[in-house]
Amino acid sequence: MISQILQDLQVKGSTPLPPDASNTDKFKDMSLSDIASVSACAYQMFICNLCGFGVPIDLDKAMQYLKTSAYGGYVMALVTLSSFQNLDMDPLFAKEAHIQAVLETVVSSGPRFGIILWLSACRTLRHNNMEAYQNAVMKLNKSGYAELGEAFDCSSEVDAETFRGVSVDFLWIARGTMPLVLRLIPLLSAQQFIMCFKNGCLPCGSVNYNNETALYMCCRAGDKGKVLALLSTFEWARAQVSTANKQGRLPLHWLWAFDRHDVEAVAEALLFHGADVDAVDDMNFRALDYAIVAHREDVVSVLLTKSKLSFRIFFDKY
C-alpha cells in the first residue's frame, strides 16, 4: 500500500522534471487543478527524498522536486526554497518575479490557510523584499475581514453586515458594526478613530463573530497610535487587553506586527493594563513563540525581559 502511494506521488510529482526552463513550460498547458496536484505531490516527494521516507536519500532529486513544487506555486515549497537559496541566481527563477508574486499574494490574503504558514510567508517576503511585504500588508489591512478569513463561519456572518461591491475600495459596511472598525483602521488617524467611537459611528466595547475586539484589530494591524489612544481613552478598551478571539489569541500575540520602534511602547502599555506575557492560544503559542516564528529578534528580546518563563522555549514547535 505504501509503495503504491509513493509510486503515485512520483508519477504526479515528476510531470515537469527536471525543473529547467523547457520542462516547466509544461505548466502552461496544465489546468489549475493539475498544477495544484503536481505541486503538492512534488513537495511530498521532496520530503521523501530529503528524509529517506520509502526511497533512498537523494538530495539532488529532493531539490528538483522542491523547485518543481515552488514553480507550481505551492506555498510551503516557496517558503522553504526562499529560506536557503538566492532565487535571483537560479536560472529557473531569475527571469521572472514568480516567487515574489505568489508570496505577496499569500501575505495579502491573510492567514486563511493557517497562521503559521502565513507567518512563514511573511518573514520570507520581508527578508527578500521589504517594500513588497509592506504593500501586501497594506492591502491586507484594507480588506475588512475579521481574522482575515481564518474563522470557519466568516462568509455568512460578514455578508450580513457588508456589501462587497466591485472591489474592496467600494466595500459598503453598515454604520456601528465591527467590520467597519477593521475597514477604517488603515484609513483614519488615531484622533479620528477615537472620535468615531465617541459619536457612535463605531461600536464601543463590541466583538465580531470571531470574538475580535477593536483593540485586537489595531494590534493585528500594527497601529501603535490607535492602540495607545484606545487604552488611554476608554475603560472598555483597557478591558479588551485580556479578551481572546475564538482561536485563543490576544492582542499581545500580535506584538511582532509592530514596527521595531513601536514594540517597547506597545508592550509596556498592554502589560500595564493587565496583559499576561505568558498567555497561550489554542495552539499553546505565546506572544514570544509568534515572534520567534516571524523572525523578530527585537520583539523576542522585549518579551524575554518580561516573561517569567523565559527559558520555556520549545523549538520543536517551529
How long a stretch of residues is the chain?
318
Burial letters 160-177, b for 16+ CB under 10 A, else e: ebbeeeeeeeebebeeeb
Q: For residue range 124-165, list pLDDT tens digits in order.
A: 888 878 888 888 888 887 766 555 444 444 444 444 454 555
- Is residue 107 a contact partner of residue 131, using CB atoms and an 8 Å limit? no
Task: Give Cβ neighbours of residue 77 (< 8 Å, ≥ 6 apart).
Answer: 39, 42, 43, 46, 66, 69, 70
- Dihedral angle sign, alpha carbons of residues 238, 244, 250, 251: negative
Tell me 163's DSSP state.
Answer: E
Q: Quick check: helix, strand or coil at residue 123?
A: helix
Predicted confidence band of residue 174 (pLDDT cuts 50, 70, 90): low
Among candidates 314, 316, 243, which has minimal Cα distance to 276? 243
Copy the grid coordinates of residue 42. Answer: 512534488
Side-chain half-sphere of 289: how many Cα atoms within 13 Å? 20
Q: For residue range 221-278, list pLDDT tens digits in order.
A: 999 999 999 999 999 999 999 999 988 999 999 999 999 999 999 999 999 999 999 9
Domains of the chain: 2-136 (no CATH), 150-317 (1.25.40.20)
